[in-house]
A and B are shown apart, each in its own frame.
Chain A
Amino acid sequence: QVQLVQSGAEVKKPGASLKVSCKASGYMFPTYAINWVRQAPGQGLEWMGWISDYNGNTKYAQKFQGRVTMTTDTSTSTAYMEVRSLRPDDTAVYYCARDLGKIVVVPTAPQSMDVWGQGTTVTVSS
């Protein structure tokens, strides 16, 4: 079945970097883009960015520009998100989520997300 499996929980100190993985299975990885969404404790959902394995295109939320990098590895059907200069307020559950529809070369609008990873809990504390 179609699924996204994320890497395990992480504890980091302020200023450190983090890299979360999201391994896809059950479908052709390049045909659907991947979003990254985070959720701080007791809070709502915050979209961080989007990546297309098809052509390497990325889009980032403005607040994360320059601090977050999203990449993919087609050979392993895995998406990665790196967050640098971690702060305590980066403490959250980080999710990867697949676009509902197949990739288009030039996406004019975002999509809803139909398959989600199980989440990776990240704690940033000194």
Chain B
Amino acid sequence: EIVLTQSPATLSLSPGGRGTLSCRASQSVSTSLAWYQQKPGQAPRLLIYDASNRATGIPARFSGSGSGTDFTLTISSLEPEDFAVYFCQQCSDWPPTFGQGTRLEIK
């Protein structure tokens, strides 16, 4: 199965800052990658699908890029509600797999 490795494990930033989160796949997934946000006690929320497409209702400050094995989720100007855990998921091959997550915390 395809292994996804996210980095860093924890990212400490200030509101208004720029967040850059990475996800690396153990083999090419083309652009079949999604990003999710999860807050404590809540279900994950789809942010980005197909590497760069924002899901319905997702603010423009969230953007995704990459193809092949290297992907990036960028949050251009962090709002207080953006501090959460972020997961990537590959949709290239069965079984779908998730990265271990990046915790974005307030500095």
Residues of A within 8 A of B (CB): 35, 44-47, 59, 61-62, 95, 97, 100, 109-114, 116-119
* Chain B residues positioned under 8 Å from A47 (CB to CB): 95-98
Find chain B residues with CB under 8 A from A114 CB: 46, 49, 55-56
Which of B43, B91, B101 makes the CB contact (< 8 A) with A44?
A: B101
Question: For chain B, what secondary structure do more than half of its interface residues adopt (helix, strand, loop), or is it mixed?
Answer: loop
User: Which residues of chain A have C-beta atoms less than 8 A from B93's C-beta?
Assistant: 109-110
**Residues on A with beta carbons closer than 8 Å to the beta carbon of B56:** 114
Are B91 and A61 within 8 A (Cβ)? no
5 closest residue pairs by CB, A with B: A112-B34, A116-B43, A110-B96, A112-B49, A45-B98
CA distance A109 to B55 in the complex (A): 19
> Inter-chain contact count A-B, CB under 8 Å?
60
Q: Could you give 12 example pairs across A and B, Cβ below 8 Å?
A: A45-B44, A45-B89, A45-B98, A100-B46, A109-B32, A111-B91, A112-B50, A112-B89, A112-B91, A113-B34, A113-B44, A119-B43
Do the beta carbons of B95 and A62 come within 8 Å of each other? yes
| Chain B contact residue count (CB 8 A cutoff) | 24
Q: In the docked arrangement, what's the CA distance between A118 and B43, Å? A: 6
Cβ contacts under 8 Å, B34 to chain A:
112-113
A36 to B55, CA, bound (A): 20
CB pair A110–B87 under 8 Å, yes or no, is no
| Residues in A neighbouring B95, C-beta threshold 8 A | 47, 59, 61-62, 110
Instruction: Return B74 CB to nearest CB of chain A, in Å.
Output: 18
Q: A110 to B98, Cβ gap below 8 A? A: no
**In this complex, which of B36, B45, B96 has the most chain A Cβ atoms within 10 angstroms of its Cβ?**
B96
Q: How far apart are the CA atoms of A35 and B44 in the complex, in Å?
A: 13
Q: What 1/0 mask marks residues of chain B from 54 to 71 whose CB sits below 8 Å from any chain A CB?
A: 011000000000000000
B7 in the interface (beta carbon within 8 A): no
Excluding A112-B50, A113-B46, A116-B43, 6 further A-B contacts by CB distance (< 8 Å) are A45-B98, A46-B98, A59-B94, A97-B43, A109-B91, A110-B95
* Contact B44 A116, beta carbon cutoff 8 Å: yes
Given A62-B95, A110-B96, A44:B46 Cβ within 8 A: no
